[in-house]
Structure 1
Amino acid sequence: MGMLLQKTLGTKRQESLVALLKNKRESAGLTQTDVANALGEHQSFVARIESGQRRVDVVEYLTIAEVIGFDAAEALKQLIAEAEDKKIL
């Protein structure tokens, strides 16, 4: 039958994605406000993502990656590889 779709907030998968986004932002020397302004959003938008209170869809992920300046596909591949090693995805 396959895997059942589960709620994602608070899962290890979501926490890993949030950590990736926050680490990439901080490594780029950007503040939450910098990213929010580039997205046309308020700082609280980025804060909710980074605190795990808000999901990020694929299109948002790609746009955030562009704003921060990292390769979205490569970062996701690395995240998946690390998660498989830790058995969290």
Structure 2
Amino acid sequence: MQKTLGSGAHAALVALITEKRKAAGLTQDDVAMALGEHQSFVARLESGQRRIDVIEYLTVAQVIGFDPAEALKQLISEAE
């Protein structure tokens, strides 16, 4: 299995999270505070320097306010 960090799929997931955050009118600092993390945590995630696991993805989606399943369906349909 190939490493996912830096892959096209990882870049698409990062772009989706960033887009959803901005559409919600939230800053990286807003999301970080809600997660109990530093702003640099969100910055590393959004710059693709950090992998996000499933549980983190679900938590980030909840904080930002989007449906994680629907967002993944959108990513899959765009990749096809």
The alignment status of 1:8 with 2:8, answered yes or no, reads no
TM-score (structure 1 length as normaliser): 0.89
* Distance in 2 (alpha carbons) for counterparts of 1:34 and 1:18: 17
Structure 2: gaps of 5 or more residues? none
What are the equivalent positions in structure 2 for 1:69-84 lying under 5 Å apart? 69-84=65-80
2:19 is aligned to 23
**How far 1:9 sits from its partner (Å)?**
1.1
The alignment status of 1:33 with 2:29, answered yes or no, reads yes
Q: Percent identity?
A: 74
> Pairwise CA RMSD of aligned residues?
0.4
1:61 is aligned to 57
3-state DSSP class of the match of 1:19?
Answer: helix
1:46 is aligned to 42
* Distance in 2 (alpha carbons) for counterparts of 1:44 and 1:83: 29
**How far 1:61 sits from its partner (Å)?**
0.3
* Distance in 2 (alpha carbons) for counterparts of 1:83 and 1:56: 19
